[in-house]
């Protein structure tokens, strides 16, 4: 169902009055993890002013170590929805398992993370909803496997799938992951689904986020998902790769010069 064969037109996904894919360019931004109500309010206002159309923030965090901050869970979802309503901006957050689905009513886009890309029960469950799903490529999964995971969602009836390249594991250790830029161009060739790039998790390093964002635009991405924080040094998760609010504003000025921006 994902294939561009037979001249299938590029999918356009509506999120409120925002259109994702089909020649539109969309930036999602916000913190790795939701920490406080005040933080979300501050970040949302700032990234929206800079041009982000969708606010991100993790409530349930899939951390490598069980001793790391796991996210504020349901309380974080409350802060996220409050911020959505106060700042009038759609929101995206990650789901970890299908029992959480009932908490996602007011969430605009459901994120399925890299570590859950082949959690087939979860894929089927989000496929039974009609909410847009941002599906991240697993760090050790092929493009074909990513497309088959999209197929798990779409074959249940939900055609609103956004693919996201977020870097894969290679032998290289200088960056957290290696951004597979070819994957973006290959996906645009093979599928009509919108393709996003997450330069934050791909790089793991603050200074790499801007150049990788520009590279993503150059290879044809439909959008970016960028981690931002009002005080990256104090972030509870992924501070090293987060842009501060001024850095994000500067990057967005550059992005706007390179793409057709609503």
Interface contacts to ligand PEP, rule CB under 6 A: 32, 58, 62, 113-115, 136, 166, 198, 201
Residue 24 vs 203, nearer CB to Mn ion: 203
Examine residue 180 and tell whether it contacts Mn ion (CB under 5 A).
Answer: no
Using CA atoms, how far apart are residues 100 and 70, in angstroms rounded to an integer? Answer: 15
- Give me the 12-41 binding string for Mn ion, x by CB under 5 A, dash otherwise: --------------------x---------
Residue 134 CB, shortest distance to ligand PEP, in Å, is 9
For tokens 């996602």, the residue is 104
The interface partner of residue 108, options being ligand PEP, Mn ion, none and the CB cut-off 5 to 8 Å by kind, is none
Contacts 24+ apart (CB under 8 A), 19-24: 20/132, 20/162, 20/194, 20/222, 20/223, 21/162, 21/193, 21/194, 21/222, 22/194, 23/260, 24/222, 24/260, 24/262
Q: Out of 165, 184, 238, 242, name the contact with Mn ion by CB under 5 A.
A: 238
Instruction: Write out the two tokens for 98.
Output: 């299908």
With contacts defined by CB under 5 A, name the span among 7-15, 74-82, 157-165, 237-245 that binds Mn ion: 237-245
Looking from the CA of 175 toward its CB, the CA atoms found within 13 Å total 22
With contacts defined by CB under 5 A, name the span among 111-119, 121-129, 144-152, 231-239 that binds Mn ion: 231-239
Q: How many residues does the chain have?
A: 262
The interface partner of residue 71, options being Mn ion, ligand PEP, none and the CB cut-off 5 to 8 Å by kind, is none
Residue number closest to ligand PEP, CB atom: 113
The interface partner of residue 180, options being Mn ion, ligand PEP, none and the CB cut-off 5 to 8 Å by kind, is none
Residue 148 CB, shortest distance to Mn ion, in Å, is 25
Residue 160 CB, shortest distance to ligand PEP, in Å, is 19
Residue 228 CB, shortest distance to ligand PEP, in Å, is 12
Residue 32 vs 193, nearer CB to ligand PEP: 32
Residue number closest to Mn ion, CB atom: 32
Torsion of CA 18, 24, 30, 32, to 10 degrees: 120
Name the percent of the chain in helix, strand, coil, to the closest 5: 40, 20, 40
60: Cβ contacts below 8 Å, ≥ 6 apart: 70, 71, 73, 93, 94, 95, 96, 100
C-alpha triplet 45, 48, 49: angle, nearest 5°: 85
Residue 51 vs 57, nearer CB to ligand PEP: 57
Residues that bind Mn ion (CB under 5 A): 32, 238
């Amino acid at each position: 169902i994902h294939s561009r064969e037979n001249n299938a037109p590029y999918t356009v996904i509506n999120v409120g009055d925002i259109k994702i894919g089909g020649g539109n360019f969309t930036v999602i931004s916000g913190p790795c993890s939701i920490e406080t109500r005040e933080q979300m309010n501050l970040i949302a206002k700032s990234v929206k002013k800079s041009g982000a159309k969708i606010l991100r923030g993790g409530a349930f965090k899939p951390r490598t170590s069980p001793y790391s901050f796991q996210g504020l869970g349901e309380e974080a979802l409350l802060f996220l929805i409050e911020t959505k309503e106060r700042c009038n901006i759609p929101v995206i957050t990650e789901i970890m398992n299908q029992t959480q689905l009932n908490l996602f009513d007011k969430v605009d886009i459901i994120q399925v993370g890299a570590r859950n890309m082949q959690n087939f029960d979860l894929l089927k469950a989000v496929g039974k909803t009609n909410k847009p799903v941002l599906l991240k490529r697993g760090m050790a999964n092929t493009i074909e496997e990513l497309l088959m995971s999209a197929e798990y969602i779409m074959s249940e009836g939900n055609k609103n799938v956004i693919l996201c390249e977020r870097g894969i594991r290679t032998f290289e250790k200088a960056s957290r992951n290696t951004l597979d830029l070819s994957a973006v161009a290959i996906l645009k060739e093979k599928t009509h689904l919108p393709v996003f790039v997450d330069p934050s998790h791909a790089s793991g390093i603050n200074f790499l986020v801007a150049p990788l964002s520009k590279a993503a635009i150059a290879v044809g991405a439909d959008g970016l998902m960028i981690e931002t924080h009002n005080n990256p040094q104090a972030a509870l998760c992924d501070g090293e790769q987060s842009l501060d609010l001024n850095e994000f504003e500067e990057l967005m000025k550059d992005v706007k010069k390179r793409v057709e921006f609503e």
